[in-house]
Structure 1
Amino acid sequence: MAASDQTLVCVKQVKQELSNEWDESMPLPGDIIEGFSTHNSDADESFLPVKTSSEFSSQLGKINPRLESIWIKVRRGDSLLKLQTCIVQQKGYVLRRKYTIQATTDHRHIADLGDLTLEQCTELQVMSSRVVQTQGKGLHIDRIKYDWKMKVGTYLPHQSSSVVSSILFTPLAGEHCINTTTARCMAWFSASISSGVPLVFVNIQTELIPPTIEKTNLSNMQQKHYTAQIIHGIRLWFLPGLEEIPIELIPEPNEVRFGMEINRTEEGFVCIYSVTGGTSADRGGLKELHEEATANGFLLVISRLEGKSKMPTSVCSDGLIHCCDHAEMKDLLVSAIDQYEIIHLHVMAWPNQTRSSPTQVVGFAALLPPQRSFSTHHYD
């Protein structure tokens, strides 16, 4: 066989069509695979030679149950590179399984291997080189570290808070029009606003709801012909006030109550409707907030207690609103005062609320750009 007819195991193409996302750490068209190793070693003896693509596929199949990735030695131009790749099964081969390699950084980048001549490999390498070099002339996508723990602790009212809340409306029995469910959803939102709950509208969307029919109640024949009915609900996204104000209730010796009375609105929100002077609730600032909220026509609504949201979460098909048990909240407060434990809660802020918070508040107001005054410059 002439030297020009000798074939090499080569990457014929890759199934990642977005060539602008290729990089030199991936197997690229034209790469000649000279060997592979199951260990991250530079020693030549650790790499087993690759003779044909079918033999390499068979070897990958034997390794696959034990290891998810291997190291391959590829010749690219005048360079000899060591790349880490994953082992994947090629789709489309049913009777006989075939295995190939995939880039570790992109699961879409799967190599199609073949036995090609050196000339064919070189042509493919020229094409790949042009793609990667052209990419290099553009803007690089960088990856930066981000202190998520610090940001969550600094910019959220509580580490378990997502700031935005939502409530899911399931259609009532016989309610087959999505517009009817939407109207009911917006009626609830409008009623909440009218009652004095300072919600901020964010978004509204349809959502698939899994059917709740228990198939165990059906006969065998019914189960055979049973088709789950697709139900579309409405999810309303909202912010709990312009911001959430953190409150700390610190009981003093001999105090038997925190000094606030809570109640639940018709729409499922828990509000503070009275605060006793001289109590921990008063010292925490709730009396001042309650008086200001009342004077401005708003309710003083508890958005979370000990970091847990107290928002209504859903409306079921019988029209009942799923919300927090305010009796359970009362029991928690009674238990805490008995043990002289500190209680942390958040209340919803309303427009033009004036009371300054000792700690950073987070919400819609914090998402707005800061008010700044800029001096005017004149340029010749």
Structure 2
Amino acid sequence: MGSVPTVVCVREVKQEDVQEWDDSMPLPGDIIEGVAQDNADEDDTFVSAKARSELILLLGKINRVSEHVLLKVRRGDSAVKLRACIVADRNVKMQKKFTVRAASDERHVAVLGDMTFEACFELQEMSRRIVNLDFKGFRTKGIPYDWKLKVGSFLPDHRSTVVGSILFMPRAKERITELLISRAMAWFSAAISSGIPLVFVNIQTEQIISSISFQLFPEPGESRFGMDIKRTEEGFICVYSVTEDSAADRAGLGDLLDQANRTHHLLVISRLQGKSLKPSIVDSEGLIHCCDNADIKETVSSAIEKSESIQIHIMSWPNQTVPAAPSSSAAATLQPPNGK
């Protein structure tokens, strides 16, 4: 029997903080198909290596002229080009050998090895779950909004806001939400302790009904999932009708929509297939950037054509299209939508 073929692969990385991995770094399971000098542009400039020993020699040659290298790696069905740094392999004591590390993080050093395709793909799946390489948000587009009308209609005093806010941006390499929230609360607590009369209202990343995650399964012959959606002026995607005995109805969306209508709420889809559908930003021209309807339709149509299920997350927001007339003390007594 012949030997099992192997490829040069990233067996592991020395950075243990997986929260700081990203898809621009060499990741466990990456199959290294070729290397080239940092200024290479064309695919034919990449030189392949069939074994770890050959790759080490190539890295040594490139290191004579530059500490940076371009890697062409195979991740699943995709070929990805990465910029990396050549570093000495500290696992080897007797002679100088080389490996690579992430260009953006000197701690992220790759351990290379000769591995089977099957072993590489198993590592790739682990890496994919950690950094979610397959996640791509829906395309967005800007929609116009009548800010002047809304400010005049919905603010008790259109000349000033009734609440203040501060935006905390993550620091470099700070990818854990809890760290960002801790910094925000430390700032707020310090301000209160010094005598600043602040009143805490909310820190929010996403208001979601986490216990309600719906999986919609089409039956043979069904050409629709059975829910009709529309976008609000503010850019949210809402369910406004559910077809009886459809996949959406069988999943329980019909009952939830009836309940939302009775309580004058909107049934908002916050995520589709794990991707956010909520408005993401308001630009300097006043356009609200929302997920593209065509992108949503393509995702749903593709799933129904393949007879595959889709997963949606639902959140419920108050439907306050007719604001009450503000009283003279409205600016002091205005409550959040659910507050009474």
State TM-score, norm by structure 1.
0.36
Q: For the pair shown, which has the larger CA radius of gyration, 1 or 2?
A: 1
Q: Provide the TM-score with structure 2 as the length reference.
A: 0.40
